[in-house]
Each structure stands twice: as structure tokens, then as C-alpha cells.
């Protein structure tokens, strides 16, 4: 079929397999160019491995450190009417290229919140790796979670806490800036958001891996978080999602204790705001990101997911024997985003930006381009007028019998 983008709000309902391959290849190329880590991780489990930060983590581990990887994600395979989701094609591309490079790469597709997928992952690690995972990356971003013990469905919200929040926001495709008022989250909303995006499931994963003897001595585990500037505090850091992120920080401390017999450590890594499927859904944030991109590109310090993840491995996790953290024990990859000069310029632009000047005051065009790339569109060298076979298999899943 000929595949074109079909954008509905902040999601694209189609994905292009050749474009996704190209997007993965770009990231592999970057990771390889930065040189191989000598003392990097060897066996890495990535939960949320198919897009955004999780995919980039997988690529950085495999192609920047020669690590074996198992990736867990929840993606839709193609059928006769629809393309697969981008994460499916990304994972097919990643596995193909990893295996061609002689790197072990297997994937598990299903609901990471479930007991079943955890058990399946433990079994695979025991069988293929004799249980020696030395790095576990938790990079899930999901709007809902079915709790494995209670069966309750928790829906997360992107809302402020305490009082309504009014701010500028942009319709990315039209460039129209309008004012949005978000009503505050209820206590139940906050609890649900913490249940989905907080640390309970991360803990359940680590407990399952510990119980299955899957972790090696000195194992590290990380979850990703965001802090951002005061400008976005009401919707992010001090909003319902911020509570979930605070819960991750507490969880990291508790997990480090649970892992003490293995001298293991758990960390939260605070990453830069970037265009991903998850961040596109947050009101206000795309406008902030468009301005941020403009300024960071002008100052030559812009990074995408792969640049961030390579820096995480090289300069934070495996630079020395000790992981590099701030005074609160957090890994900081948002250091360049949060530079005073950069944030001062954003604050000034935020006041003046409107629908008429947005294209010149921000990098909205760059945002749109990155958004298309997430789904395999607008990649150089791909002819989107050509027929393409949407029925792509993920090598390690192809032989699986689904029951
Ligand atoms: P993303 O939407 O690109 O990736 C989410 C991943 O989670 C995908 O691999 C998806 O398949 C997987 N997933 C979702 N629900 C699942 C389920 N039920 N079972 C199995 N897999 C599931 O998101 P992104 O942006 O890479 O986010 C990852 C983490 O990074 C999140 O914790 C996010 O808060 C954090 N982060 C993101 C930033 C951003 O600007 N995008 C900035 C800083 C942190």
C-alpha cells in the first residue's frame, strides 16, 4: 500500500515501515559514531523499548556498548486494513539491524503492567541469559493501567492541582495559539495518575526480576522523569503527573534498599523535553518545546532522544565507577535545557509569541518535522509515493505461537 500520514490531534494513525527503519538507522548511526563504551552494560532489559526515550536507550545500549537487549512494549501489528504502529516497525528495524550486527535482541509485545508479561520476561531472561541483567530501564508512558492485582482500570490525567490553570497552547499543525484553561485534578485523578505513571509497577517489575534471580551483582535500574521550568510547573511538575514523578523518586530510594544484597542501585534520570508520542499529548508543552528547540539549536546544544541517551550512558551511568547525580541523587540530563540563558530567552519569547509570529519566534516547523518522523514520515531518502509492504514482522516474535 501507499502510506501517508493521517494525523488526528496529537496522534498519527498510520506509520511507514521504511521511514521507521530510516529513523532507527539514523539513531544507530549516531550511537556508533560516538564510539564504543568499554565498561558499559552487557545485558539490558528495556521496558517501553519501542519509541521515544526507551527506543533510544535500547539503541545506545546495543550500538554504543555492544549490549544484548530484551525490549518490552505494547504495539499493534499490521493487519489487512491498517499499518502497524510506529513502535512495531521501529522494533522490527532495531532487531533486524542488531541481529545483523551479531547482537542478541529479542522483544516481548504485550501489557507490561500485567503479571503475565512480567512472567514471560523473567522466563526469557532465565532461559537465554541465565539471569544476568545488569541494567533495567523503565521507560513506560501510558494513559492507563489495568492493575494486575485488583483488575481496576486507572486512567492518568494531565491536569493541574489545586486550582485551574490558564496558559497559551498551540495547535501544532495549524500553528494557531489559543488560551487553554485546565480544570484541577480531583484526588481520585491524582491517585489514578500515580497508579499509572508512578513507581508501583516499576517496583513490581524489580520484585519479579529479583524473585526470578534475573539480576546480576551491581545491577542498575532507572526510570525517566521530567522537571522543566516554572513556566510548565502547573501542568507538569506541580500537576498530577508531577505527583507520579515524585513517587518514582521515592520508589528509586526504596528499590535501592531492596537491591542492597546485590549492591544494586535505582535512579531517576531527569531528561530533556522532547517531541515524542507521549509529550505531544500534554497541553502547553508542545509550544514550550517549539521555543526550546529554536533556542537550543541556535546555541548549538540541541539534543534529540538518541543524543540524550548516549550522553546518559557515557557521561552519567558509565563515566566512572559512580553514577553522576545531583545533590538530590537524581541523574540530570536536563542540564542544558535548564541553563539560565536558555530559560531567560524562553520566558521572554513566551510573553510575545502569538499565532502571527510563531513560525519565526519558535521552531514549530522543526517540531512538526520531528512529529512526522516519530511515525516514519519526512525521512530523507524515502519515497513516500511508492507502494510499500506494511506487513513487517519483528524477527523474534515471528515464530511465536500466540495462545
Ligand atoms: P513514548 O510514548 O515515546 O514511549 C512509551 C513506550 O511505552 C513505548 O515503547 C510503548 O510501547 C510503551 N508502553 C506504553 N504502554 C505500555 C504497556 N501497557 N505495556 C508495555 N509497553 C507500554 O514516551 P517517552 O516520551 O519516550 O516517555 C518515556 C518516559 O520518559 C516517560 O516516563 C516520560 O515521562 C519520560 N520523559 C519524557 C520526556 C519527553 O519530553 N518526551 C522528558 C522527560 C522524561
DSSP string, 263-313: T-EEEEEEPPP---HHHHTSSSHHHHHHHHHHHHHHTT----HHHHHHHII
In a domain, 217, yes or no: yes
How many A from CA of 200 to the centre of ligand 1? 16
What pLDDT digit, counting tens, does each position of 251-267 carry?
999 999 999 999 999 99
Is it the case that residue 399 has pLDDT exceeding 80?
no
Provide mean pLDDT across the span 3-22. 95
Quote the radius of gyration of the chain (alpha carbons, Å): 20
Which residues are bridge partners to 171 per DSSP? 176
How many A from CA of 73 to the centre of ligand 1? 10
Backbone angles phi, psi at 179, to 5 degrees: -100, 135
Provide mean pLDDT across the span 356-374. 96
Ligand 1 pocket mutation pick from 139, 225, 270, 311 by most atoms within 8 angstroms of CB:
139
How many A from CA of 50 to the centre of ligand 1? 9
Residue 47: strand, helix, or coil: strand
Q: Given this model, what pLDDT does residue 268 score?
A: 98
* Nearby residues of 317 by Cβ (< 8 Å), 6 or more positions away: 41, 135, 220, 222, 323, 331
Q: Specify the residue with its C-alpha closest to ligand 1, atom 3.
A: 52
Share of the chain above pLDDT 70, in %: 99
Is it the case that residue 401 has pLDDT exceeding 70?
no
In a domain, 202, yes or no: yes
241: cell is: 503527573
Q: Given this model, what pLDDT does residue 281 score?
A: 84
Torsion of CA 361, 275, 393, 384, to 10 degrees: -10
In a domain, 259, yes or no: yes
Question: How many domains in the chain?
Answer: 1
What pLDDT digit, counting tens, does each position of 287-333 carry?
999 999 999 999 999 999 999 999 999 999 999 999 999 999 999 99
How many A from CA of 131 to the centre of ligand 1? 25
Provide mean pLDDT across the span 88-101. 98
Cα 291 to its chain centre, rounded Å, is: 21
The residues annotated as belonging to the active site are 236
Q: Given this model, what pLDDT does residue 403 score?
A: 40
Q: Given this model, what pLDDT does residue 400 score?
A: 64
Judge contact between 152 and 146, C-beta under 8 A.
Answer: yes
How far apart (Å, rounded) are the C-alpha atoms in residues 341 and 310? 24
Alpha carbon separation from 375 to 277, 308, 383 (Å, rounded):
9, 20, 15
What pLDDT digit, counting tens, does each position of 176-221 carry?
999 999 999 999 999 999 999 999 999 999 999 999 999 999 999 9
Cα angle at 269 between 265 and 274, to 5 degrees? 155
What pLDDT digit, counting tens, does each position of 275-298 carry?
998 888 888 899 999 999 999 999
Residue range(s) defining the domain that contains residue 328: 7-158+191-278+301-338+383-397
In a domain, 318, yes or no: yes
- The CATH number of whichever domain residue 51 belongs to comes to 3.40.50.720
Alpha carbon separation from 337 to 55, 226, 288, 328 (Å, rounded):
21, 11, 11, 18
In a domain, 69, yes or no: yes
How far apart (Å, rounded) are the C-alpha atoms in residues 400 and 204? 25
Q: Specify the residue with its C-alpha closest to ligand 1, atom 15.
A: 142
In a domain, 378, yes or no: no
In a domain, 139, yes or no: yes
Q: Which of 204, 209, 190, 74 is nearest to 149 (CA)?
A: 204
How far apart (Å, rounded) are the C-alpha atoms in residues 305 and 320? 23
Q: Specify the residue with its C-alpha closest to ligand 1, atom 18.
A: 111
Q: How would residue 175 be classed by pLDDT, with cut points 50, 70 and 90?
A: very high
Residue 33: strand, helix, or coil: helix
Q: Which of 32-36, 153-157, 170-174 has the lowest mean pLDDT?
A: 170-174
298: cell is: 541556535
- The atom of ligand 1 lying closest to the CA of 277 is 2
Residue 23: strand, helix, or coil: helix
Q: Which residues line ligand 1 (CB under 6 A)?
A: 48-54, 72-75, 87, 111-113, 139-142, 224-226, 271, 273-274, 276-279
Is it the case that residue 351 has pLDDT exceeding 50?
yes
Q: Which residues of 41-50 are buried (b: 16+ CB within 10 A; e: fewer)?
A: bbbbbbbbbb
Q: Given this model, what pLDDT does residue 381 score?
A: 95
Judge contact between 2 and 385, C-beta under 8 A.
Answer: yes
Pinpoint the alpha helices (H) of 181-227.
Answer: 187-197, 200-211
Q: Given this model, what pLDDT does residue 109 score?
A: 98
Q: Given this model, what pLDDT does residue 9 score?
A: 84
Provide mean pLDDT across the span 8-31. 96
Neighbours of 158 (CB within 10 A): 19
Q: Given this model, what pLDDT does residue 282 score?
A: 87
Judge contact between 59 and 28, C-beta under 8 A.
Answer: yes
Q: Given this model, what pLDDT does residue 402 score?
A: 47
Neighbours of 332 (CB within 10 A): 18
In a domain, 186, yes or no: no
Provide mean pLDDT across the span 118-134. 96
Q: Given this model, what pLDDT does residue 292 score?
A: 98
Provide mean pLDDT across the span 327-350. 97
Neighbours of 261 (CB within 10 A): 10
Q: Given this model, what pLDDT does residue 70 score?
A: 98
**Average pLDDT in the chain:** 96
Q: How would residue 238 be classed by pLDDT, with cut points 50, 70 and 90?
A: very high
Amino acid at each position: 500500500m501507499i502510506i501517508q500520514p493521517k494525523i488526528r490531534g496529537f496522534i498519527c494513525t498510520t506509520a511507514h515501515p521504511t521511514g521507521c527503519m530510516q529513523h532507527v538507522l539514523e539513531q544507530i548511526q549516531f550511537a556508533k559514531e560516538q564510539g564504543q563504551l568499554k565498561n558499559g552494560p552487557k545485558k539490558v532489559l528495556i521496558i517501553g523499548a519501542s519509541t521515544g526515550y526507551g527506543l533510544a536507550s535500547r539503541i545506545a545500549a546495543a550500538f554504543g556498548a555492544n549490549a544484548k537487549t530484551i525490549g518490552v512494549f505494547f504495539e499493534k501489528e499490521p493487519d489487512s486494513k491498517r499499518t502497524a504502529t510506529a513502535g512495531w516497525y521501529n522494533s522490527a528495524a532495531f532487531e533486524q539491524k542488531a541481529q545483523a550486527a551479531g547482537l542478541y535482541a529479542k522483544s516481548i509485545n504485550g501489557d507490561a503492567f500485567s503479571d503475565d508479561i512480567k512472567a514471560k520476561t523473567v522466563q526469557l531472561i532465565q532461559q537465554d541469559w541465565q539471569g544476568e541483567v545488569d541494567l533495567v530501564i523503565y521507560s513506560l508512558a501510558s494513559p492507563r493501567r489495568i492493575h494486575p492485582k485488583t483488575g481496576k482500570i486507572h486512567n492518568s490525567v494531565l491536569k493541574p492541582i489545586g486550582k485551574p490553570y490558564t496558559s497559551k497552547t498551540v495547535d501544532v499543525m495549524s500553528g494557531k495559539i489559543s488560551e487553554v484553561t485546565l480544570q484541577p485534578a480531583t484526588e481520585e485523578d491524582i491517585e489514578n495518575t500515580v497508579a499509572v505513571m508512578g513507581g508501583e509497577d516499576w517496583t513490581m517489575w524489580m520484585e519479579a526480576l529479583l524473585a526470578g534471580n534475573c539480576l546480576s551483582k551491581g545491577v542498575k535500574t532507572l526510570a525517566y522523569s521530567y522537571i522543566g521550568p516554572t513556566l510548565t510547573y502547573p501542568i507538569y511538575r506541580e500537576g498530577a503527573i508531577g505527583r507520579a514523578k515524585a513517587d518514582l523518586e521515592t520508589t528509586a530510594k526504596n528499590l535501592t534498599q531492596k537491591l542492597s544484597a546485590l549492591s544494586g542501585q535505582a535512579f531517576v534520570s531527569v531528561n530533556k523535553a522532547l517531541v515524542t508520542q507521549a509529550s505531544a499529548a500534554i497541553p502547553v508543552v508542545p509550544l514550550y518545546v517549539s521555543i526550546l528547540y529554536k533556542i537550543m539549536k541556535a546555541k548549538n546544544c540541541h539534543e534529540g532522544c538518541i543524543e540524550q541517551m548516549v550522553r546518559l550512558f557515557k557521561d552519567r551511568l558509565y563515566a566512572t565507577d559512580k553514577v553522576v547525580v545531583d545533590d538530590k541523587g537524581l541523574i540530570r540530563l536536563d542540564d542544558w535545557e535548564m541553563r539560565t540563558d536558555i530559560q531567560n530567552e524562553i520566558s521572554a519569547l513566551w510573553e510575545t509569541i502569538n499565532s502571527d509570529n510563531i513560525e519565526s519566534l519558535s521552531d514549530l516547523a522543526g517540531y512538526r518535522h520531528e512529529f512526522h518522523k516519530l511515525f516514519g514520515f519526512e525521512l530523507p531518502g524515502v519515497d513516500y509515493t511508492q507502494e510499500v509492504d506494511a506487513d513487517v514482522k519483528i524477527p523474534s516474535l515471528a515464530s511465536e505461537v500466540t495462545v
